[in-house]
Amino acid sequence: MARLTVESLKQLRETLIAQAAANPMIKLLLCGGTGCHATGSIPVKEALVQEVETRGLNNKMQVIETGCNGFCAMGPILVVYPEGVFYQKLSAADVPELVEQHLINGKVVERLLYKLPESKEKIAHQVDIPFFGHQMPRALRNKGMVDPEKIEDYIERDGYLGAAKALFEMTPKDIIEQMKISGLRGRGGAGFPTGVKWDFAGKSPGETKYVLCNADEGDPGAFMDRSILEADPHAVVEGMVIAARAINAHQGYIYARTEYPLAIKRFGIALEQAKAYGLLGEDILGSGFSFNVEIYQGAGAFVCGEETALMRSIEGRRGMPRPRPPFPAHKGLWEKPTILNNVETLANVPQIILKGGGWYASVGTETSKGTKVFALSGDVNNIGLVEVPMGMPLRKMIFDIGGGIPDKKKFKAVQLGGPSGGCIPEHKLDTLVDYEAIAKVGAIMGSGGMIVMDENTCMVDMARFFMDFIQDESCGKCTPCREGTRRLLQILQKICNGQGEEGDIELMEALSTIIQQSALCGLGQTGPNPVLSTLRYFREEFEAHIRDKVCPAKRCVALVKFEVDPELCKKCGVCFKSCPVQAIEWKKKEVARIDKEKCIKCLTCINKCKFDAIS
């Protein structure tokens, strides 16, 4: 690779576009994100490459392993481009038929198409699938479209033109002004205006400054940052270059957890390719501006997602928060002015600079501009990565994009904002995706984790689960978080075990208030949110556990009798067939009976019974 100048970068882009137009080829875009790797996309790719070669189709089509396509529930996924035919849940055994029928004979293989939930209707083209149709990809504009390990694919799609504009056509003040106009707020959770943060750091005195990317994504059910790094790593590299130019920094770090090997690998490749082309490192594009990025791997401590703890970790110290002020924009990494943005925030930056802050601000609400990426998971048909315009109702996300709740069950709640977030019930589902609107109903936007829960979820147990996570991840530095969250967890465990007492609810509320007001960092201050939000909307479940010694959702094993109700039992024998330890006695046309001495209380029978006959 030869080092590029602005002129040669633009020429390379034009050449790549011209070559693609002169030699149009069918692109077989195979999802190669972690999710699809886990469901078998690697053998599918091997079979596809072999089949294409064997049939002599190399001059007509390319097999391209992309990053995450987004529709994780349907993996492994293949999109035939430019037709846009969407194949899902592929296996290596499907490849010969797919190549023969579609790629040679031009007939879509119907059995491999996407089927709408609760319907027999199949959809051939990706653009017609509701999961994609309601989205607005900006941070995810390249997902499923480019080879993340090939910089030329990124350059062909306007890659690094934003950085070139920032380096040659704009001053640092101009860059920060466009960021302010865009209204982009930090997508890592707090929602602080990005342009304002950069302005603070830019005005801070000192020759040494740092740009950090936070890829320490630790929320249960969250995979937004990981997927962006796997699918479009150059967008983050370019965003960091622009940020560095805005505050005159010459060194950057990306802090990524070790559990993200594929993301780290692809980001590392992107760094080397960008350096080889002169898009990173010394004298970028011949501008005289230099900036380098290093990867720092974290060991998976949730608290290191907090900015000051992350910086201490990079410095080689124990990752623990420190009091603020001073804020990192004035004294951050090694006590030097530092800006820290998460992966999604930085992925938005190149397009904002290239197209202008007004373009980005044209979408969204008055206080929340642009789009937001969410990891949709839990009890929802269409699990995956989605990007929607700010202002979309949560109901539309869950039922139109997410496809609703599986097995015709009822929606109960959605957890937003990770462990430190809150649960939103059905009657609040018309709440808009907006920082302030979500905060009003007792949750937070967070980094974008969205866990959907159906009617069989016990909200007391859910609060216990998240509090267990928070207590385990507390760094232990401050007493309110270390001891307060442990006490909350003990009370929740007691309630789930059928030992709850009158006054426990009031005690938890009082403890939560104290923790919120006195904990050192954001983790501790928002730690009680799972308790407070579930108490706010599902107080009657807590009362049933305490006063009636009953778990309405039948999740808390200590409060389940494991007895078959003869009035409700349909004598179908499904529980008998599903019991892993043969603890259920049943004969045709007879009511089943559970042998409590054999029963291991695994809840399988309750999960399988469609008639709610086991109490």
Distance, CA of 244 to CA of 202 (rounded, Å) = 10
Q: Kindly write down the DSSP assignment for every residue of 218-240, as one continuous string.
A: -STT--HHHHHHHH-HHHHHHHH
- Give the orientation angle of helix 194-203 with respect to helix 172-182, to 10 degrees: 160
Q: Quick count: other Cβ atoms within 10 Å of Cβ 548?
A: 10
Look at residue 520 and give its three-state secondary structure: coil
Instruction: Find the DSSP H helices in 204-356.
Output: 224-231, 233-247, 261-276, 307-314, 343-355
Instruction: Find the DSSP H helices in 341-432.
Output: 343-355, 357-361, 394-396
pLDDT bucket at 152, cuts 50 / 70 / 90: very high
Q: What is the SS3 string spanning 96-143?
A: HHHHHHHHHCCCCCHHHEEECCCCCCEECEHHHCHHHHCCCCCCCCCC
Q: pLDDT tens for residues 384-435?
A: 999 999 999 999 999 999 999 998 899 999 999 888 888 999 999 999 999 9
Strands 26-31 and 78-81: what pairing?
antiparallel
Distance, CA of 291 to CA of 578 (rounded, Å) = 60
* For range 452-470, the mean pLDDT: 94
pLDDT of residue 217: 86
Distance, CA of 601 to CA of 44 (rounded, Å) = 39
pLDDT of residue 222: 84
pLDDT of residue 88: 97
Beta-carbon contacts of 259 under 8 Å, excluding residues fewer than 6 positions away, are 300
pLDDT above 70: percentage of residues in the chain: 100
The residue behind tokens 């790593």 is: 233
pLDDT of residue 299: 86
440, two tokens: 């009003």
* For range 479-502, the mean pLDDT: 94
Q: What is the pTM of this model?
A: 0.93
* The residue type at 3: R
Distance, CA of 264 to CA of 256 (rounded, Å) = 7
Q: How big is the CA angle at 42 (ends 40 and 45), to the nearest 5 degrees?
A: 115
Residue 408 burial class via C-beta count within 10 angstroms: exposed 0-12, middle 13-18, buried 19 and up: exposed
Asked if residue 82 has a cis previous peptide bond (ω within 30° of 0), the answer is: yes
Q: pLDDT tens for residues 474-485?
A: 888 889 889 999
**Pick from 132, 135, 169, 156: nearest CA to 64:** 156
Q: How big is the CA angle at 449 (ends 128 and 118), to the nearest 5 degrees?
A: 40
The residue behind tokens 């249960």 is: 220
**Pick from 107, 62, 54: nearest CA to 81:** 62
Residue 440 C-alpha from the chain's centroid: 23
Encode burial over 282-305: b for 16+ CB neighbours within 10 A, e otherwise: eebbebebebebeebbbeebbbbb
> CA-CA distances (angstroms) from residue 311 to 164, 212, 268, 338?
29, 9, 20, 9
Q: pLDDT tens for residues 259-290?
A: 999 999 999 999 999 999 999 999 999 999 99
pLDDT of residue 521: 86
pLDDT bucket at 323, cuts 50 / 70 / 90: confident
- Check: CB of residue 431 under 8 Å from CB of residue 438: yes
Q: Quick count: other Cβ atoms within 10 Å of Cβ 227?
A: 28
pLDDT bucket at 615, cuts 50 / 70 / 90: confident
Distance, CA of 542 to CA of 544 (rounded, Å) = 5
Phi, psi of 45 (to 5 degrees): -65, -45
Q: pLDDT tens for residues 46-85?
A: 999 999 999 999 999 999 999 999 999 999 999 999 999 9
Distance, CA of 564 to CA of 566 (rounded, Å) = 6
Residue 68 burial class via C-beta count within 10 angstroms: exposed 0-12, middle 13-18, buried 19 and up: buried
Asked if pLDDT for residue 1 goes beyond 80, the answer is no
Distance, CA of 460 to CA of 534 (rounded, Å) = 7
Q: What is the SS3 string spanning 553-594?
A: CCCCHHHCCCCECCCCCCCCCHHHHHCCCCCEECCCCCCCEE
What is the torsional sign of CA 473, 474, 476, 477?
positive
Q: Kindly write down the DSSP assignment for every residue of 335-352, as one continuous string.
A: GS-EEEEEHHHHHHHHHH
* For range 313-328, the mean pLDDT: 92
Residue 518 C-alpha from the chain's centroid: 30
- Check: CB of residue 443 under 8 Å from CB of residue 437: no
CA dihedral in degrees (431, 342, 417, 131; nearest 10)?
60
